[in-house]
Amino acid sequence: MIKVGIIGSTGYAGGELVRLLMGHKNAEIKWYGSRSHLDKKYAEVYRNMFEIVDATCMDDDIETLAEQVDVIFTATPQGLCSSLVNEEILSKVKIIDLSADFRLKDVSVYEKWYKITHKSPQFLPEAVYGLCEINREKIKNARLLANPGCYTTCSILSAYPLVKEGLIDTDTLIIDAKSGTSGAGRGAKVDNLFCEVNENMKAYAVGNHRHTPEIEEQLGYAAGEEIVLNFTPHLVPMNRGILVTEYAKLKKEVTYEEVKKVYDKYYGKEKFVRVLEKNIYPETKWVEGSNYTDIGFQIDERTKRIIVMGALDNLVKGAAGQAVQNMNLMFGLEEKEGLELIPMFP
């Protein structure tokens, strides 16, 4: 049985981790960390856990925690995990960080986009980017795992086969993305109030969203060269879900069957990536509550472009589900354990 500690267990991603791990046959949560609800019953914070979780929220004393568990999930704001991690901690326990602290290899890029000083840049070369379908073998031996974000997971998985096979001109790649409000976290913000979000749709962080360099870096590895792209996120009035629509110029004339063969090459055997049938396009409702990413595409012969669409649940495959998937790989378990969740519909 894997002993688990969660720092930041009362945020949306942390709460989703608890929900998933409660159904995991090989994991047991030993520590429900929460600075904002210290000494409060966890089931008082999340009433859906009444008579399911009988535990009290604890602090983020990572030194003590590292002595008691096998893996620590940090579902915390940017900057906290990097301030807690050190060699002694990593010699005792594996860490799966759901923030962006270890996703970018260049510390100057991190500090530019996140506007904070990185507290432990010495661990950046070691940290493994936890996109399971792409970095599976590296993940298995990791002790410090950078869990990708929701926008990035959907954006990268949707474009990766095309970039890897050199089918598109990456200079023309444009990503239009939309997210449910849970992607902004559980903290109180005026922009996320019901009256602000309901009956409304808006773009935000246009031209400077901090997930942009993460997408560029990972697709750049696939292309074997630096990539610069446009990424524009939008907030939509729903609880969960990410939908990305990506546009790029094709380098050569291709048929639907040829492109489908490329996607099947990379995802045909993947449990949690579903490449949809011809003329069927992803919808957030088809993946809600699950660890699936759905991908579809359309070739626009008139403009010589390809339009790729991807959808996932930002709290599952875009956060907690992917973190559990990474944990399974890191501990030699079946990758799908605890994650065979059928999407909720309606």
Residues involved in catalysis: 150
Q: Which residues contact 122 (CB under 8 A, 6 or more apart)?
A: none
Identify which of 67, 84, 68 has the alpha carbon closest to the alpha carbon of residue 8.
Answer: 84
Which tokens go with 184?
Answer: 């902004």
Give yes or no for a contact between 306 and 286, defined as CB atoms under 8 angstroms apart. Answer: no
Give yes or no for a contact between 312 and 292, defined as CB atoms under 8 angstroms apart. Answer: yes
In angstroms, how far is CA 4 from the centroid of its own chain? 19
Strands 144-146 and 242-250: unpaired
Edge-to-edge strand order for the sheet containing 202-203? 202-203, 230-235, 168-179, 242-250, 305-312, 293-300, 273-275
CA distance 210 to 293: 22
DSSP state of 184: G
Torsion of CA 188, 191, 193, 199, to 10 degrees: -160
DSSP state of 316: I
